Amino acid sequence: MNFIRTEIPDVIICEPEVHGDSRGYFMESFRRDRLETFMGRSVDFCQDNESRSSRGVLRGLHYQLPPFAQTKLVRVIEGRVLDVSVDIRQGSPTFGKHIAVELSGENKRLLFIPRGFAHGFVVLSETALFSYKTDQYYNPESERGIAFNDPGLAIDWQLPENELKLSAKDLKQPLFEEAAFFDFNTDLYG
């Protein structure tokens, strides 16, 4: 597996080695030992989630507050999405910046998103099967969000806003400046 640091170095693109022939392909989609060696710390995923969505569905931007903050390892099994991570670690050199990466069943990339980031994605294909691991269980009381269309974040979701389909909850999320932030200098993994 190849690991690529993004412009926000803590967000990592993981590229698996795909072995294909006339029968199809095989790949290791996750290797804990290799990820931990690259990052220099341990990760302990405890929950897997999956969603199927149609074109234009936008889920996010979501996160959970400590002590339920989540690291995520996300991938697309079928289809294409634009996956977005926003740094909400106050004091970070990249605070308020975001990374947008296309994930697809074709490119087989995964994205590692550490605690301290808001996360969301939009479906660019007719449908998409999206899967992700978390290192903390879902906790609805600690769940928070940020408005997908916050002008200060200026996220290009690659689809016109009138084509986006959001949940009632995601349509009511606060602007970035009103969000609950993490402290960059606090060990989120302690």
Ranges of each domain in the chain: 2-183
The CATH superfamily of 2-183 is Jelly Rolls (2.60.120.10)
User: Quick check: 93 pLDDT over 90?
Assistant: yes
> Is 19 designated active site?
no
What's the confidence (pLDDT) of residue 131? 97
What's the confidence (pLDDT) of residue 36? 86
Paired tokens of 102? 């296309």
Exactly one of 19, 62, 98, 189 is catalytic; name it: 62
Mean pLDDT (the chain) is 95
pLDDT tens per residue, range 18-50: 899 999 989 888 888 998 888 888 899 999 999
What's the confidence (pLDDT) of residue 39? 85
User: Burial, 2: exposed, middle or buried (Cβ in 10 Å; 0-12, 13-18, 19+)?
Assistant: exposed
What's the confidence (pLDDT) of residue 190? 64
What's the confidence (pLDDT) of residue 31? 86
Alpha-carbon torsion, ordered 34, 88, 62, 36, to 10 deg: 10
* Cβ neighbours, 10 Å, residue 190: 6
Exactly one of 119, 132, 138, 189 is catalytic; name it: 132
What's the confidence (pLDDT) of residue 175? 98
pLDDT tens per residue, range 114-160: 999 999 999 999 999 999 999 999 999 999 999 999 999 999 999 99
